[in-house]
Amino acid sequence: MSEFVKIKSISELHKFLGIGKPKHPAITVIDSSAINRPSQIYGKKYILDFYMIALKNHNGEALYGRNYYDFQEGALVFMSPNQVITPTKAPTEISEDGWSIYFHPYFVLQSDLGKKIHQYSFFSYAANESLHLSEDEKETLFDCVQKIKKEYSQNIDKHSQSLMISNLELLLNYCTRFYDRQFYTRSNHHQDVVSKVETFLLQYFNSDNSLNLGLPTVRQCAEQVNLSPNYLSDLLKKETGKNTKEHIDYYVLKQAKSLLLTTNRSVSEIAYDLGFEYSQSFSKFFKKEVGSTPNAFRRLN
């Protein structure tokens, strides 16, 4: 069984990577070519207590969660605190020219960025859903990273932290823009994903799955198309205007209306057939979506 190693601080990270002491305790920018890792680090599972954004160009391989990711193409990968990363082998050629930025949650805790960082859903994407960048996009992000590095490398004053956070937020906002571009340019593939999700939900409610397994979940939909839940929700939102949960609700409501209008089953029986544990939960859901109770909808139609 692989050993778990927790890295709690930026100082521990620098020691782990075989580089000098950090110049700031809560944020660091690391040039990939400066990393000097011994062979013993491979095969272990590492848990970081901080955020990571990494752009790397080499032929190494790593395992994020259950997914292998080949860095050869030079894509941007994101990690949030307490995710697991497992370096699986050393690069056969050391030709790295990328960078990584790491920052502790408490670095942004008191800022506006800290209040909304959970909105950057790509921190929960799987590694195989990484952001692929054009050369111009790489330069744009590198400029933000260099400004952050410059701020903590010089004499820190009362403006330093706010300027670093501003550039970090700018970096994340550019990543959001570039992900939107990536969703758009892969539209044909994404239409196929939309179709597969809709087919799965249709078949789910046309079988006994809801009766036996309960309501379908976002994770189940994501597993059908081999995507992470966050990535699928963002993809569906871009393509259809509705995220995964809204797609599920649409099919639950569609099936509920059909059962109310074409059968004599009670509301409690219909709720149970649809996978609701309690009929009150079904009635509350139905009224929120339709504006009337199930019984009132049945009478009026």
Supply the CATH number for residue 291's domain: 1.10.10.60
Same-domain check for residues 27 and 95: yes
The encoded tokens of residue 243 equal 């995220």
User: What is the residue range of 287's domain?
Assistant: 188-300
**Same domain membership, residue 152 and residue 79:** yes
Domain endpoint, select from 185, 214, 233: 185
Q: Which residues partner with 6 through β-bridges?
A: 47
Give yes or no: residues 29 and 85 share one domain.
yes
Sheet holding 61-64, edge to edge: 4-7, 45-48, 84-89, 61-64, 67-70
Q: pLDDT digits over 186-238, tens only?
A: 777 778 899 999 999 999 988 878 878 889 999 999 999 999 999 999 999 99
Residues 30 and 144 in one domain: yes
Token pair listed for 225: 């198309």
Taking the CA atoms of 195, 200, 201 and 205 in sequence, report the sign of the dihedral they define: positive
What 3-state class would DSSP assign to 13?
A: helix
285-299 CB burial, b ≥16 within 10 A, e <16? bbeeeeeeebeebbe
Q: Are 251 and 149 members of one domain? A: no
Give the 3-state secondary structure of residue 285. Answer: helix
Number of CB atoms found within 10 A of residue 187's CB: 12
Count of structural domains within the chain:
2
Q: Let me know whether 120 and 268 are in one domain.
A: no
Distance of CA 252 to the CA centre of its chain: 25
Same domain, 193 and 180: no
Does 281 lie in the same domain as 227? yes
Residue 230 is predicted with a pLDDT of 95
Indicate if 127 and 100 belong to the same structural domain.
yes
Helix, strand or coil, per DSSP, at residue 62 = strand
Percent of the chain residues topping a pLDDT of 70:
88
Per DSSP, the residues of 168-204 read HHHHHHHHHHHHHHHHHHTHHHHHHHHHHHHHHHHHH
pLDDT tens for residues 72-106? 456 899 999 998 887 665 444 444 578 999 999 99
Share of the chain above pLDDT 90, in %: 63
**Confidence (pTM):** 0.80
Q: Report which of 75, 93, 94 is spatially closest to residue 32, judged by C-alpha positions.
A: 94
62, 84 in Cβ contact below 8 A? no
So what's the pLDDT on residue 87?
67
